[in-house]
Amino acid sequence: MNNAVLMIYTGGTIGMVQNEQGVLQPFKLDRISDAVPLLKNVSYRIDSCQLSAIIDSSDMCVKVWAEIAQIIEKEYDRYDGFVVLHGTDTMAYTASALSFMLENLGKPVVLTGSQLPLGMLRSDGRGNIVGALEIASAQKTNIPEVSIYFEDKLYRGNRSTKFSAQNFDAFASFNYPPLATAGIDISYNKHLVLYPESTDFKVYKALNENVAVLTLFPGISQKLVNAILDTPDLEGVVISSYGSGNAPTEGWFIDALSKASEKGIVLYDVTQCKSGTVRIGQYATSYDLGRIGVVGGYDITIEAAITKMMFLLGNCSDREQVKQLLKQSLRGEITV
Ligand code: ASP
């Protein structure tokens, strides 16, 4: 029997058309299939579905992640792989979130989109869709991960980041090499692929939104730090820190974090640098963070850090377990 792929359309530039005012807006899925007629000749079956609301990915939220996860859960046994058509703006967040939500994934879930709508002559969408479908349908080279295929590269989803608002190669994975690269053939780096520990595929749909990112910058005020840490119901904060995890040593700053930690708020130290890793205690400027219980994020991206926090706070029974699991690689998102 032929392989089958389910294409899940969520929105994004790839399917957009210009309205009368020249503004790009999401359009319906049938336009997408019409735009790539050669897909009718492939050796695998392509079925498609779309979300209850088609969105620009700037409107992505936890509810929509749960909807995508639910579709994959419902259709898991009927398909060999899944392609999620998604806007590029928050694609790395969705890929990261799905990687945590889909435990023991045994089939490819490939996210893709484009910088120019499919209907435009120079669109990058055709190549991205065709490559993503080929990877999702390839049984022999099964990559059972949530990944992003963009401009000839397949990246682990939770290692990816959107780094260009202009170029066709809009994504990068600074701390982990591509899982595959497409040229005349698609060349897979199978030794880099993470395979599931068991066949017990499980979908988690509960994510906890009581999280924040505290981005440090020289001159950050006490008022701003307190406003974030005093947010009602706050349960987790990603501290977007300098270099190898460094932060101001001023008393008021460490006190504010220390009080937050004592209240049970989980603090996760993630570097603003695009590559490299956090080493708490390497400098005096991160020593105190370790002392007050801040957890180091190693080389995790901000996108993976915030979604990992949402996932763990939504599914763990206590804060100590959250802290322990933040330090571990759950889906290949960090190099420990
Ligand atoms: N704003 C669009 C989105 O993320 C951008 C894109 O798809 O490239 O939905």
- 329 Cα: distance to centroid of ligand 1 (angstroms): 29
CB of 222 within 6 A of ligand 1: the answer is no
Average pLDDT over residues 199-211: 97
55 bridge partner residues: 11
- For residue 305, pLDDT over 80 is answered with yes
Which value, to the nearest 10 degrees, does the dihedral of the CA atoms of residues 153, 159, 162, 168 take?
0
Question: pLDDT grade, residue 35 (50/70/90)?
Answer: confident
CB-based contact 239:268 (threshold 8 Å) = yes
Total-model pTM: 0.96
Q: Which residues are identified as catalytic? A: 13
Whether pLDDT at 15 is above 90: no
Alpha-carbon span 289 to 277, nearest angstrom: 16
Lowest mean pLDDT among 19-23, 243-247, 292-296: 19-23
CA 226 to chain centre: 28
Per-residue pLDDT of 101-137, as tens digits, reads 999 999 999 999 999 988 788 999 999 999 999 999 9
pLDDT band at 62 (very low <50, low <70, confident <90, very high): very high
Rounded alpha-carbon distances, angstroms, from residue 329 to 29, 146, 259, 333: 36, 15, 28, 6
- Tell whether the torsion through CA atoms of 54, 305, 313 and 321 is positive or negative: positive
Residue 143 identity: I
Determine the Cα–Cα distance for residues 111 and 86; give it in Å rounded to an integer: 7
Question: What residue owns the CA closest to ligand 1's atom 7?
Answer: 87
Angle at 88 between CA 116 and CA 114, to 5 degrees: 30
Q: How far apart are CA 284 and CA 280, in angstroms?
A: 9
**Predicted confidence band of residue 296 (pLDDT cuts 50, 70, 90):** very high
| Confidence (pLDDT) at 85 | 96
Q: What's the whole-number average pLDDT of the chain?
A: 94
Region 245-263: what's the mean pLDDT?
96
Judged against a pLDDT cut of 90, whether residue 211 lies above it is answered with yes
How many helices and strands (H and E) does the chain possess? Answer: 9, 18
Sign of CA dihedral 249, 253, 255, 258: negative
Atom of ligand 1 at shortest distance to CA of 170? 8
Phi, psi angle pair for 56, to nearest 5°: -75, 135
Q: Between these two residues, 138 and 235, which has the higher pLDDT value?
A: 235
Binding site membership of 89 for ligand 1 (Cβ less than 6 Å) = yes
Grade residue 328 by pLDDT with cuts at 50, 70 and 90.
Answer: very high
- C-alpha 117 to ligand 1 mean position (Å): 10
